[in-house]
Amino acid sequence: MRPHGWERMRRFWEADRGLTIVLVLLVVIIFVLPVVLNPDPAGRLRADFAFSVLLLAGAFTTAESRRVRLAVVALTAATLLVRWAAAGSPSNDLAIGREATTLVTLLLFAGVVAARAYRSGPVTHYRIQGAIAVLLLVGLVYADAYELLHLIHPDAFSGEVGNAPGALTWIYYSFVTLTTMGYGDITPVHPIARSLATSEALAGQLYIAVMLARLMALHVTTDSKN
């Protein structure tokens, strides 16, 4: 790619418009893929591909700090390497490494997107979309934590978990917990699983309150300056 083409792409992702792309990818992974993909090896590969695209998009949406950008790119590369190694040669150790690296990467992405969405300045629809993306990223972080815990302690959850629940199962359980719907088809049994579920339910409620307060404060501050 020519230098000026790379520069245009970098500026696009560093602008608030990149938050819309991240939100669209999150909606596809969370709400579309569970409907259109079958729980078979081919479906899991497609889900891994979509998730890899999300990780790459998150890497482009990094902060302007060179140090943070290098850390995010290096972590994203390591996460993708482990993820596709686990897809090519399934093993419990690789699966644990896959979820551990993905968990750290998603946490970093959530922080980067939150910093962009809540920085000072006018509140645009891009910033609101970024705030929504942070909430969805929180749900994915907990989904990954649940899957990691299940790999380490297979009896940490009871109910309709199945012998080998995939990532889409934990995404469903995570957002049911985040929104405090609690259908009860999957129940946390292990103390760590219960603590995760409790903290996620609290995080979902508190985030909405804090998000609204922060966006309103930014809006009022911008109006007063104008």
List the chain pLDDT tens, one digit each, 226 residues.
Answer: 444 554 565 565 566 777 888 899 899 889 988 888 776 667 777 877 888 888 777 776 655 566 777 777 888 888 888 888 887 777 888 889 989 999 998 998 888 888 888 887 777 888 888 889 999 999 999 999 999 999 999 999 998 776 666 788 899 999 999 998 888 889 999 999 999 999 999 999 999 888 878 887 876 676 666 5
Residue whose tokens read 């969805």: 136
Report d(CA 173, CA 147) in Å as an integer.
10
pTM to 2 decimal places: 0.85
Tokens standing for 46?
């497609």
pLDDT at 1: 46
Structural domain boundaries in the chain = 3-225
Say if CB 95 and CB 101 are below 8 A apart: no
For residue 2, give the amino acid letter: R
For 174, residues 6+ apart whose C-beta sits below 8 A from its C-beta are 139, 140, 142, 143, 146, 200
pLDDT at 189: 94
Report d(CA 29, CA 73) in Å as an integer.
21
Which CATH code for domain 3-225? 1.10.287.70
Could you tell me which of 12, 92, 100, 25 has the C-alpha nearest to residue 56?
25
Hey, how many other C-beta atoms are within 10 angstroms of the C-beta on 213? 10
